[in-house]
A and B are shown apart, each in its own frame.
Chain A
């Protein structure tokens, strides 16, 4: 092997010796399909618990007969599932989704939601209490998203993603979109202003926070140190 020093301050051969000496058996990462099944089960539990604790909107059975509402829910859940799959794949080197596909699907989700929400009437009988009726929805979205977000983040962290920022976006999109779907079944307000600000807003904030946290916490790669500091 080559004897040059690297940035880590020791010859490559010495690094190999050190890595060999510290080798321990490892538990292999579960395949993405199995991790998806586990996360999906958790998500179902969260849906049920959220439904029991937050309650369901009074007109849910009527809403479930509306094509528009079903399409909206199906769209949110489909993008949330695809974001979950891509986040789990992003944890494995060589299996990362295409950056454009991943970012494109999140963008389509946000734009699709914005379009669907904005299509509702903007005026609301509760408009006088816009903030008072709105902020609990944002807070509930964050609470419902919290556990899946942490679990998915830990699951991705358990892998070895080479694209931590992208994995963060996908983790945020998956958990906050599932939470939004859950909130749509409990929140009775359908005005565009309420949906855009208090339902879509938390999704955007969650995704942005996930990018930052993902970039910092999801990578397992060694940090580069300049040889000048050896």
Chain B
């Protein structure tokens, strides 16, 4: 970091790539995957760039970096609080295929997904299950990114109602 503050570009690239991997893993644990993680990671890297003069070499590096990452993650969480709740419910905490024991008790994600309209199902599958970014999924579907966001949002809402039995 000292070399970065002195303007050493090679050291900076190495640092950003190094912390980028570490932060991605950290953010993936805190947020849902795909676009949001890359969004927050890029915000952290930009903030790190703008705040690099505030790093004090006499202090450890990680608390400084993690404070930036934590704040970016909290901001992202606040922005998408409602959406994240359903992303976790639909994606991270439920198995895609229910076991035979679960059949009949809990609706499996696969069964619930099958009941969504095609456009919403494929949006959820691309963004949530395959981890594509909104832009990538929109390109694949041949629609604007904004429209893809709407599809994903509506898909989550429909999933929520199906999973909670509000059919």
Contact = CB atoms under 8 A, between A and B. Distances in A.
Given A16-B20, A24-B7, A228 B54 contact: no
B96 interface: no
Interface string A103-139: 0000000000000000000000000000000000000
A94 B49 contact: no
Contact of B136 (A4, A21, A159): A4
B7 to A, nearest CB: 4
A61 interface: no
A19 B20 contact: no
Contact of A2 (B24, B49, B51, B66): B24
B47 interface: yes
A2 B149 CA distance: 21
B39 A227 contact: yes
B4 A23 contact: yes
A4 B5 contact: no
- Majority-rule SS of A interface residues: loop
B144 to A, nearest CB: 7
Interface in A2-43: 2, 4-9, 12, 15-17, 19-21, 23-29, 31
A157 B49 CA distance: 15
Contacts of A9: 135
Interface size class of A (residues with CB under 8 A): 35 or more
B45 A16 contact: yes
Contacts of A26: 5, 7, 52-53
A94 B79 contact: no
B79 to A, nearest CB: 7
A62 interface: no
Given A162-B71, A227-B145, A93 B45 contact: no
Contact of A5 (B38, B54, B131): B38
Contacts of B149: 226-228
Nearest to A221: B47
Contact of A92 (B54, B132, B145): B54
Q: Give the 5 A-B CB pairs with smallest separation, nearest first.
A: A160-B51, A25-B7, A228-B146, A94-B67, A6-B42
Interface of A: 1-2, 4-9, 12, 15-17, 19-21, 23-29, 31, 91-96, 159-160, 162-163, 220-222, 224, 226-230
26 contacts: A4-B35, A4-B37, A5-B38, A6-B35, A16-B20, A19-B46, A23-B7, A26-B52, A28-B5, A28-B55, A29-B54, A92-B54, A92-B56, A93-B51, A93-B54, A96-B67, A160-B51, A162-B47, A220-B50, A222-B43, A222-B50, A227-B35, A227-B134, A227-B135, A227-B145, A228-B149
